Structure 1
Amino acid sequence: MSQRVTGNHHSPESPRRREPLLNPVIAESQPEVASAIARFGGLDAVMASAYGVDPESGIQNIRPNRPFTRRKFLQQVTIAAALTVATNCANPDRKEADLSTGIPLEKTHLKIGFIPITCATPIIMSQPLGFYQKYGLNVELVKMENWQQVRDSAIAGELDAYHLLSPMPIAMTLGLGSQPFPIKLASIENINGQAIVLALKHQDKVKEAKDFRGLTIGIPFRYSMHNLLLRYYLASNNINPDREINIKQVPPSQAIELLKAGELDGFLMPDGNAQQAVYEKIGFIYLLTKDLWDGHPCCSFAASKPWIDKHPSTFRALNKAIIDGCNYARNPGNRREIAQVIAAPEYLNQPQSVLEAVLTGTFDDGLGNIRTVSDRIDFDPYPWKSFSYWITSQFARWGMVEAQNISHEAIADEVFLTGLARQLAKQLGQTPPTIILRDEQLKFGLFDPSEPDAYRQAQIQKHGF
């Protein structure tokens, strides 16, 4: 798989992205501000937290060689640092702090909404395994029924942060399905981790995509990778997902019962639901979404821009806890322990054996086969902006947004906090990627993020939809 930097994006090693003049200028004119910047983790960290600027993806509309814009930029950085001083140092005697850095936190008692599925593993396990406490946070996990409830609670300000399907921050920011609400995708919770499951009655009838004609297939939400990948699979095999099958939106918690009742012929849901269908002997695993796009994003950790602006240090500590938890979950040696803790009634409320089958990748497919796919689900928190480009190309393809209104680069830069995720991972001793875009290899072709509209148009031209 090739990797690239496209358009105005530059490697962090590029001289244009690392100007040595900035810090000395601030240090000479505002030494107390320079000190605050250092405490906060550096100039890039201030920029990312105060403005959502991703230093690795470029500062939009600012050319460093123009004196006026340079001065404006320095003024903005100074203001951001001053706000950091006011926020973090107004009460130097208070006890609440990120325990890993000692930086004071604006808020330590948090509510995070989640759907009880295996995709939420990092958010869930970080409570019983102590990752939130490690960063000075006391988190209440709020279990929710469906994605509409999470979205509406987020917009209403009832939550501090949330577990969201990876397309949802884009959809919410654009106002698709709800009023526009600015959401930042801080990190990816899981990659892969979904499957198409069919009722056992179809095991001798459905052998390939054309056999899906006339079936009713459940998905968890319109703005989900589940919906987009199901459409991608069917359309790539010349099946019109809007005319030749019935795609039905159902909460993950109801998928098993609806499959039992015959109201669904199958579903594309998180792997916990898929394995539960096998466990209850009502369905079989037809296809892992890993086989459609190995490394695709599934769910994400997110917070609103207003909340981040008000709680920059808390947000960094919280995101660091999630990234740290993801790194722990990536280790196969930790998967059984994780399955044990997230199986509890207050979390997923599923048999531990079901969750072990998902997390370890050794599983019964419902047809008498024991399969081993070690990365059936995995936990790589890095939010590649090429994920966003593919998602918005498919939003346009399926009429969820007008194609002429899509600026793939601007949306990715607005929603994905890729640079900040990299900074936090480095602070944790990890080695995240140094670029933000890569070619994505899917089952039926390569996605080049430098040409998302050409990709969409080629799909439509080839298949007619």
Structure 2
Amino acid sequence: MAILSSNYSLESTYSLESTYSLDSIGLHTGLIKCPNCGQFHSNAMAPHGHAVWADMPKDTVDLTQDLIKMGVYSSEVVDLAKTLTENQLKVSLSQFFRDSLFERSASRNRLILEQPDLEQPDYELNSSNLVDRLCLEVVQEAGGIQAAFAAAFGDRQGELFENTIKTGKFNRRQFLARVLTVAALIMLTNCQKDNTADLTSDSPNDLAQKLEKNQLKIGFMPVTCATPIIMSQPLGFYEKYGLKVELVKMQNWAQVRDAAIAGELDAYHMIAAMPLAISLGLGSARFPIKLASIENINGNAMTAAIKHKNKVKSAANLKGFTIAIPFIYSMNNLLLRYYLAAGGVNPDRDVKLVVLTPADMVIKLANGEIDAMMCPGPFNQTAVAEKLGFIHILSSEIWPGHPCCCLATGQPWIEENPTTFRALNKAIIDGCNYASQSQHRPEIARAIAAPEYLNQPESLVKAVLTGSFEDGLGNTHNVRDRIDFDPYPWKSFSYWITTQFQRWNLMPSNVDHEAIADEVFLTGLARHLAKKLGQTPPTVILRKEQLKYDQFDPTDPESYLQGQIKKHGF
């Protein structure tokens, strides 16, 4: 009955713990769902008859406590869970004491840890007040902060931590959750191996044998934001990981959304806000979409009609304009609204926003149906080249490093094709790293400008990718990061997006920003795969985001939102 393994260690469990989570464990059937193969395996502890379990606690963590008392879990599992919990307390206490010394704020709004212990798993940074909740119980157990400091880093450390785990409600639940996780991870040792770990060394034919499917259809919009998804075909990144990909050119973002919900294709190029909106059922049926990795950061611009070249100097001058955006649930819309509001322009009252494809934006800019457009490349450069408009502001000036587009897949597809999904995500992460290097941009521009992809003049695509471009006002600019490529899906991106969904009444006001981000953004897996590729991704999931007019602190998204509304009136 006991869950045993002779093939595990503290180090390996940390690695596993960052890949698997309690979300993948289903005790309601006495089974454990494997995130690699998507199937349920026996947890080796459920009796054949269900009646015995009928009166057991329904809460998973409470159930774990009863199972420990019943002797279901081996001492190895319990001891390892205890060690993990104590190590978490050590790191948390170091931060807690440091903050207590240097922070003067009574509310102790903790700064985001920029350099945590590299071995600490993601969930230790998920909650803005997790450190406080963990450590206050230690302080209470010790009888004060000074006593806690002395005991935590002295001879009484083991006793203090053990007592805190026993008596502190929050720490106790942390420990019990770890027992369940460790047990599941040990059970999954034989099937947890990353089947794509050696995908850079095998031949394409060998790789194909390891995948659930190797022929994929991926939908994309023909814009420069899709660079990693597009370039990975002609430059061989898909083939490198055993994949044969057919790229399917989509007509608009609504078509992308509908195809994803219907499961028509395998994966999709989406705007970063779309997986959140679709998963929440905003503007469409609710369907679980996962954001696997970010395709590009920055990359958009606002272009105004040439007739306004002597009039538009700031957001305030856009009042009364008809402005085109590509999709309601898009970064284009949210960044535009942010920019307008900061200039005193109410985007719901003082301008008219219309949804158009980027290609149609250029046509309607030419015939005077719109005054400006907030869109991706190369269509801003198309308007400049045809002397139809001028670039008023780059999106990188509104929010440097903002997420733009992403690789997205449906949750059911991931469960059916976990190894293929990892291979695909690796190809995109690898491609992003290649595209991030300036010397490769001209080559990439040539590759993706082709008729089957963007079908645009190479010179215009190159202008966007290299950041050397004309603005339509007689100026030449060199902005290296006009578009850039960083695949890491910061969860603070998600937090900001959902605050703006709230701000503009695109979703209900009662929002759990953390839960939504955890559900949609596969940050831990993206980090894991990047490390497999020899990259050095961030070790935290949140960061403070510096925008043009303010700083977003993801530890307090509601205060940020209310501050925006109070300052601008909307």
Q: TM-score range by the shorter chain?
A: 0.7 to 0.9
What is the match of residue 100 of structure 2? none
Superposition deviation, residue 104 in structure 1: 1.4
Give the whole-Å Cα distance in 1 for the aligned partners of 2:342 and 2:5: 57
1:207 maps onto 2:313 in alignment: yes
Match of 1:419 among 511, 524, 536: 524
What is the match of residue 223 of structure 1? 329
Q: Secondary structure at the match of 2:361?
A: helix
Q: Secondary structure at the match of 1:323?
A: helix
- Which segment drifts farther, 449-458 or 58-67? 58-67
Q: Identity rate of aligned residues, in percent?
A: 57
Give the whole-Å Cα distance in 1 for the aligned partners of 2:186 and 2:283: 38
What is the match of residue 431 of structure 1? 536
Give the whole-Å Cα distance in 1 for the aligned partners of 2:402 and 2:207: 33
Match of 1:266 among 356, 372, 380: 372
What is the match of residue 461 of structure 1? 566
Q: CA 1:160/1:239 → structure 2, altered by over 3 Å: closer, same or farther?
A: same
Give the whole-Å Cα distance in 2 for the aligned partners of 1:26 and 1:144: 51
Q: CA 1:177/1:71 → structure 2, altered by over 3 Å: closer, same or farther?
A: same
Superposition deviation, residue 100 in structure 1: 9.2
Give the whole-Å Cα distance in 2 for the aligned partners of 1:115 and 1:378: 18
Contact 1:99 1:135 in 2 (8 A): no
Q: CA 1:336/1:72 → structure 2, altered by over 3 Å: closer, same or farther?
A: same
Contact 1:98 1:104 in 2 (8 A): no
Contact 1:119 1:193 in 2 (8 A): yes
Superposition deviation, residue 64 in structure 1: 7.7
What is the match of residue 324 of structure 1? 430
Structure 1 unaligned spans of 5+: 1-24, 89-95
Contact 1:57 1:419 in 2 (8 A): no
Q: CA 1:419/1:69 → structure 2, altered by over 3 Å: closer, same or farther?
A: closer
1:313 maps onto 2:379 in alignment: no
Give the whole-Å Cα distance in 1 for the aligned partners of 2:4 and 2:372: 60
Give the whole-Å Cα distance in 1 for the aligned partners of 2:284 and 2:550: 32
What is the match of residue 391 of structure 1? 497
- Encode CA deviations 1:36-81: one digit per residue, 9 max, x unaligned: xx9xx956445599459x9413599996877754443345435655
Q: CA 1:67/1:226 → structure 2, altered by over 3 Å: closer, same or farther?
A: closer
Q: Secondary structure at the match of 1:267?
A: strand
- Larger Cα-atom Rg: 2
Q: CA 1:66/1:459 → structure 2, altered by over 3 Å: closer, same or farther?
A: closer
What is the match of residue 146 of structure 1? 252
- Give matches, 1:41-440, under 5 Å: 44-45=18-19, 50-51=34-35, 55-58=121-124, 69-77=177-185, 104-404=210-510, 406-440=511-545
Q: 1:114 is aligned with what amino acid? A: F
If the length of structure 1 is used for normalisation, what is the TM-score? 0.85
If the length of structure 2 is used for normalisation, what is the TM-score? 0.70
Specify which structure has the bigger relative contact order, considering alpha-carbon pairs within 8 angstroms and separated by 6 or more residues.
Answer: 1
Give the whole-Å Cα distance in 1 for the aligned partners of 2:410 and 2:359: 26
Contact 2:17 2:121 in 1 (8 A): no
Superposition deviation, residue 304 in structure 1: 1.0
- Encode CA deviations 1:358-393: one digit per residue, 9 max, x unaligned: 011110001111110011000000001100000000
Give the whole-Å Cα distance in 2 for the aligned partners of 1:339 and 1:97: 28
- Which segment drifts farther, 60-69 or 149-158? 60-69
Q: 1:27 is aligned with what amino acid? A: S
Contact 1:46 1:81 in 2 (8 A): no
Q: Secondary structure at the match of 1:394?
A: helix
- Encode CA deviations 1:134-184: one digit per residue, 9 max, x unaligned: 000111100000000001001111011100000000000000011110111
Aligned length: 425
Contact 1:386 1:437 in 2 (8 A): yes
Q: CA 1:198/1:317 → structure 2, altered by over 3 Å: closer, same or farther?
A: same
Q: CA 1:151/1:81 → structure 2, altered by over 3 Å: closer, same or farther?
A: farther
Q: 1:439 is aligned with what amino acid? A: K
Superposition deviation, residue 452 in structure 1: 0.6
Superposition deviation, residue 271 in structure 1: 2.5
Superposition deviation, residue 83 in structure 1: 6.1
Query: How large is the Cα RMSD of the aligned pairs?
Result: 2.8
What is the match of residue 5 of structure 2? 27
- Encode CA deviations 1:272-314: one digit per residue, 9 max, x unaligned: 1111111111110000011111000000111111111111111
- Which segment drifts farther, 313-322 or 251-260? 251-260
Structure 2 unaligned spans of 5+: 25-33, 37-119, 131-169, 196-201
Contact 1:100 1:134 in 2 (8 A): no
Match of 1:451 among 539, 543, 556: 556
Give the whole-Å Cα distance in 1 for the aligned partners of 2:204 and 2:524: 20
- Encode CA deviations 1:415-445: one digit per residue, 9 max, x unaligned: 1111111111111111111111000000101
